[in-house]
């Protein structure tokens, strides 16, 4: 198993190494994308725009749950891939066990809190009198899957660190396919509406988590979740959290910023909120593919960093940037030209459709640089450089986005201009990511073995 990882991460030609890891990662993200679109699409078939608005309102809370999984998933992947590059297999097992059990405990606590306080949480994240019933109903049911969601999101990343990109992909595919198949049955066939969407989501996350647990308990796994390997000391907890917290902060701030913009957009009515939610879903078509590319290369970059192999690290990075820019350009054109049928698939109310169409085309302006942004984010995370990762994470959806959003709100009394705050932020964030990567590479990369072959 170590030989296979070494062969892919260290010895395979750069294009083969990148593609073999990126393709399963992108496929996984496509499944996540379809899964995220499915709830909104089938709820849209009920012709009830208030239900669509409720699902849109609940999305930021769902992102908070996923952020916990990202904390352990991205943080664990960074530490584990570097440990394997250094030849420290035991430390890799310590890290994977730490991520599993700590994440599970946090998930159980979060489940209890959200289940108990679903209605006030719904109010806090922007639900109106017309949507709060649907939103709280959805959140209360989905909360029961939080522990499984955290495990699934954590190990869909961590398993890639041991060179098992296909296994990581299969787990996400199983969970998402179950959700996609059950959505039309439960929402439309059984007439459960929002409850059906929530139950399908719960079952999908449970089966994905079970799949990953089965792999980690098998003889095919290099990593382990056995309690005997659980360890927080000797740099395990610090190593995971140093990168995991910045990575999760990005998701948390994305959730918080979505809550804020939903509350601001509420000034223009529930149909504006519904249109914004659908526009975000359309934009996710580009974003999720590029996140898949970025997360796919992180284990390779982390391995090269741990091994001190500068030449191969830069070769992987350059190839990935070219690939990311090409994919960004193609997907931007597709989503811009296809915005009308995509939005219409979710919204039939004329007012909501007008908002959704306008917002979708504004959001997609970020497309050309999004691939570069996610590659540089993962390149920084692969080095374990906590401070640059933290700065970048709190910038995109926090210290850059929120000032731009509030400035636009003050200057323009226009819903489309509020939406324009996001693409402007993404261009500024990409410029910051390039600067931070150059700093990280010069400061943190091992100076030894710079002449290693790629």
Instruction: Give tens-digit pLDDT for 239-255.
Output: 899 888 887 887 788 77
User: How far is residue 441's CA from residue 390's CA, in Å, rounded to a whole number?
Assistant: 16
pLDDT for 35 equals: 73
Predicted confidence (pLDDT) at residue 77 exceeds the cutoff of 50? yes
- Which of 94, 72, 381 minimizes the C-alpha distance to 222? 94
User: How far is residue 431's CA from residue 434's CA, in Å, rounded to a whole number?
Assistant: 5
Residue with tokens 């990762």: 389
Predicted confidence (pLDDT) at residue 452 exceeds the cutoff of 60? no
pLDDT for 448 equals: 42
User: How far is residue 430's CA from residue 400's CA, in Å, rounded to a whole number?
Assistant: 11
pLDDT for 407 equals: 92
Predicted confidence (pLDDT) at residue 156 exceeds the cutoff of 70? yes
308 C-beta neighbours (distance < 10 Å), count: 16
Mean pLDDT of the chain: 85
Q: Convert the pLDDT of each residue in 186-235 to its tens digit.
A: 988 888 888 888 899 899 999 999 999 999 998 888 898 999 999 998 88
Predicted confidence (pLDDT) at residue 338 exceeds the cutoff of 60? yes
Q: Convert the pLDDT of each residue in 303-334 to its tens digit.
A: 888 888 889 999 999 999 999 999 999 988 98
User: Greatest CA span in the chain, whole angstroms?
Assistant: 64
pLDDT for 4 equals: 58
User: How far is residue 151's CA from residue 212's CA, in Å, rounded to a whole number?
Assistant: 8
Q: Convert the pLDDT of each residue in 340-349 to its tens digit.
A: 888 887 777 7
Question: 198 in helix, strand or coil?
Answer: helix
Burial class (CB in 10 A: 0-12, 13-18, 19+), 312: buried
Q: State what percent of residues in the chain have pLDDT above 70.
A: 96
């Amino acid at each position: 198993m170590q030989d296979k990882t070494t062969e892919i991460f260290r010895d395979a030609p750069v294009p083969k190494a990148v593609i073999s890891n990126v393709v399963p990662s992108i496929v996984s993200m496509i499944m996540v994308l379809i899964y995220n679109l499915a709830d909104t699409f089938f709820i849209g078939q009920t012709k009830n725009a208030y239900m669509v608005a409720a699902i849109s309102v609940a999305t930021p809370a769902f992102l908070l749950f996923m952020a916990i999984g990202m904390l352990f998933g991205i943080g664990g992947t960074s530490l584990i891939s570097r440990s394997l590059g250094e030849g420290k297999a035991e430390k890799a097992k310590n890290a994977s066990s730490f991520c599993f059990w700590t994440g599970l405990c946090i998930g159980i606590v979060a489940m209890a809190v959200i289940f108990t306080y679903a209605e006030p949480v719904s109010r806090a994240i922007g639900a109106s009198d017309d949507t709060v019933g649907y939103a709280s109903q959805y959140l209360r049911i989905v909360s029961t899957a939080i522990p499984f969601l955290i495990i699934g999101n954590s190990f869909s990343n961590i398993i890639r660190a041991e060179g098992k990109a296909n296994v990581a992909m299969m787990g996400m595919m199983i969970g998402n396919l179950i959700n996609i198949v059950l959505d039309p049955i439960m929402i439309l066939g059984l007439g459960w509406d929002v409850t059906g969407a929530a139950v399908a989501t719960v079952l999908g996350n449970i089966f994905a988590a079970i799949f990953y647990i089965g792999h980690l308990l098998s003889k095919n796994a290099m990593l382990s979740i056995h309690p005997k390997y659980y360890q927080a000391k000797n740099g395990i907890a610090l190593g995971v959290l140093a990168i995991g917290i910045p990575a999760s902060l990005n998701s948390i701030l994305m959730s918080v910023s979505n809550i804020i913009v939903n509350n601001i957009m509420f000034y223009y009515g529930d149909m504006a909120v519904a249109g914004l939610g659908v526009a975000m879903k359309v934009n996710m078509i580009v974003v999720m593919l590029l996140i898949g590319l970025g997360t796919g290369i992180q284990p390779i970059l982390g391995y090269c960093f741990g091994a001190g192999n500068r030449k191969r690290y830069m070769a992987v990075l350059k190839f990935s940037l070219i690939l990311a820019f090409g994919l960004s350009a193609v997907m931007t054109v597709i989503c811009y030209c296809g915005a009308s049928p995509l939005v219409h698939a979710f919204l039939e109310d004329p007012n909501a459709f007008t908002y959704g169409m306008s917002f979708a085309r504004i959001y997609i302006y970020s497309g050309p640089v999004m691939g570069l942004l996610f590659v540089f984010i993962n390149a920084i995370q692969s080095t374990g450089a906590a401070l640059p990762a933290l700065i970048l994470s709190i910038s995109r959806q926090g210290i850059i986005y929120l000032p731009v959003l509030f400035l636009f709100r003050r200057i323009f009394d226009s819903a489309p201009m509020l939406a324009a705050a996001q693409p402007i932020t993404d261009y500024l964030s990409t410029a910051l990511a390039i600067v931070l990567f150059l700093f990280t590479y010069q400061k943190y990369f091992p100076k030894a073995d710079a002449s290693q072959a790629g």
